[in-house]
Amino acid sequence: MKKSSYISKEIVKKIKQITIQTRRLLRGTMAGDSRSALKGTGFEFDQIREYQFGDDVRFIDWKASSRHDNLLVKQYIEERCRTILLAVDVSASGVLGSGESLKRDIFAQVASVLALVATSGKDRVGLILFTDTIEKYIPPSRGSQHANTIMRVLYTYQPTGKKTDLGAVLKKIAQYKQKDAVSFIISDFIDSSIDSKLLSHVAQRHELYAVRCIDERESSLGNFGFIPIEDSETGEISLLDTRKKNNPINAYLKERIDLQTRLFKQKGVQLLDLPNNHTFIADLIRFFRRRMRY
């Protein structure tokens, strides 16, 4: 399938709404945008302020001090630029959605918000789109234009694969050499073959977050009688009986989620669950800032 570069008016509107909402929530709340003020040396000029006891006299601004009849010093800031890798699942299971939005739309929103918050903190952001292979890779970079490019790709890319293989994206992340890289895997994690050794290896090398978004019907099915179901990743069709009071399907779904949760905890992967039936941007920003120390 060809990769579309066309940006519809609807997608442009979505990107604009997410950008405005995210920036509104961030405005006036970012504490230093991941940079620390220094009393001496630094990389970037920040401001002129009043002299405080202990300040390096070499940074006294004598001209400004004479104009204001007060002792003033130049303050600098040190940038601590990190690298944020956003790995987004674009497999066929993302087309499911019993609420207002499809899972793939939630994935795109999550990645967009993270890209915008990281950009506001002067961090470098990269994007990995994956199915059972790496579909697309955008190397980490900085700036609002780069964040906008990431959002456009998130909303327009048409994947060639349908299945999910977390091993593919974990191997890609493991290849990244920068030690302070922080990786977010955004997925429903419907993959029964998670390589626990590879997961552990990546979690030891990088700060790794799993942002899990599953539809409510993927954790519990109601009584709908016999229903035909199609595996969105394999195309297989089967008949499912949901009439039983203690539906074994619900037990299986719960067990799969619980096992996955325990695996992430054991391997040092920090987990954030996001349902796809409510507005979550504010919660996501708070989580990101708290964990990333923005």
Here the CATH number for the domain that contains residue 174 is 3.40.50.410
Instruction: Give residue 257's pLDDT band: very low, low, confident or very high (50, 70, 90).
Output: confident
Residue 285 lies in a domain: yes
Mean pLDDT (the chain) is 79
- What secondary structure letter does DSSP report for 3? P
Query: 29-82, pLDDT tens digit by residue?
Result: 543 444 444 443 445 566 788 888 777 888 899 998 998 889 998 876 555 678
Domain match, 136 and 112 both: yes
Tell me whether residue 4 is in a domain: no
Please tell me the total count of domains within the chain: 2
pTM, 2 dp: 0.72
Residue 86: name the closest of 116, 64, 48 by CA.
116
The domain in which residue 199 lies consists of: 9-28+81-292
- Tell me the C-alpha distance between 149 and 119, whole Å: 12
d(CA 87, CA 211): 10
| Backbone phi, psi, residue 115, to 5° | -65, -40
